[in-house]
Structure 1
Amino acid sequence: MPTKPPPPRRAGRPRKTADDTHGAALSRERILEAALALIDRQGPQAFNIRELAQVLKVFPSAIYWHVPSRNELISGAVALAMNGVADDWVTGRWQDRLAALLRRYREVLRRHPRLAPLVASELIYNATFDATMLDHLVQLLEDAGFEGDGLVDAYNVVFAAMCGFATMELSTAPTEGAEAWENACRAQIARVDAVRQPALARHLGAMQNRAFVLRWSSGDGQPLDSGFEAWIDVIVRGVESRARALRRAASG
Structure 2
Amino acid sequence: MAAERKTGSSGASGRKRKSAPLSSETIVAAAIDLLDREGLDNFSIRNIAKALGVYPTALYWHVPSRHLLIARVIAALFADVLPEDNPDWRIWLKELFRRYRDIVRAHPNVAPLVGGHLVSSASVDLRLVEAILSTLARAGFDGERLVAAYNSVIVGMCGYATQEFAHVFPDPDGALETSLTASVEAADPALYPTLAAERRRLLNRALILRWQNGNQASLESGFEMFTDALIAGLELQLTHH
Bucket of the pairwise TM-score, normalised by the shorter protein:
0.7 to 0.9
Contact 2:93 2:231 in 1 (8 A): yes
* In structure 2, C-alpha distance between the alignment counterparts of 1:143 and 1:32, rounded to whole Å: 35
Deviation at 1:177, TM superposition (A): 7.8
Aligned pair partner of 1:79 in 64, 75, 78: 75
Aligned pair partner of 1:138 in 133, 141, 160: 133
The residue that corresponds to 1:47 in the other structure is 43
Q: Alpha-carbon deviations, 1:90-113, whole Å to 9, x = none?
A: 412011111111111111111110
In structure 1, list runs of 5 or more residues that go unmatched: 1-16, 247-252
Letter in 2 for 1:116: A
* In structure 2, C-alpha distance between the alignment counterparts of 1:48 and 1:124, rounded to whole Å: 19
* In structure 2, C-alpha distance between the alignment counterparts of 1:106 and 1:96, rounded to whole Å: 15
Contact 1:44 1:114 in 2 (8 A): yes
The residue that corresponds to 2:215 in the other structure is 220
* In structure 2, C-alpha distance between the alignment counterparts of 1:204 and 1:78, rounded to whole Å: 37
Deviation at 1:135, TM superposition (A): 1.1
1:119 aligns with 2:114: yes
Deviation at 1:20, TM superposition (A): 7.2
Between 161-170 and 42-51, the greater mean CA deviation after superposition: 42-51
Contact 1:34 1:56 in 2 (8 A): yes
Q: Alpha-carbon deviations, 1:148-172, whole Å to 9, x = none?
A: 1111111111111111110111122
- Report the number of matched residues: 227
Contact 2:70 2:117 in 1 (8 A): no
Root mean square deviation of aligned Cα: 2.0
Contact 1:20 1:59 in 2 (8 A): no
The 3-state SS of whatever aligns with 2:174 is: helix
* In structure 2, C-alpha distance between the alignment counterparts of 1:245 and 1:114, rounded to whole Å: 40
Alignment of 1:1-252 (within 5 A): 22-86=18-82, 89-120=84-115, 122-123=116-117, 126-127=120-121, 128-175=123-170, 179-246=174-241
Letter in 2 for 1:236: I
Deviation at 1:179, TM superposition (A): 3.3
Change (3 A) 1:21 1:151: farther
Contact 2:184 2:196 in 1 (8 A): no
Q: Which runs of 4+ in 1 moved over 3 A?
A: 175-179
- What TM-score results when the alignment is normalised by the length of structure 1? 0.83
Change (3 A) 1:190 1:233: same
Letter in 2 for 1:227: G
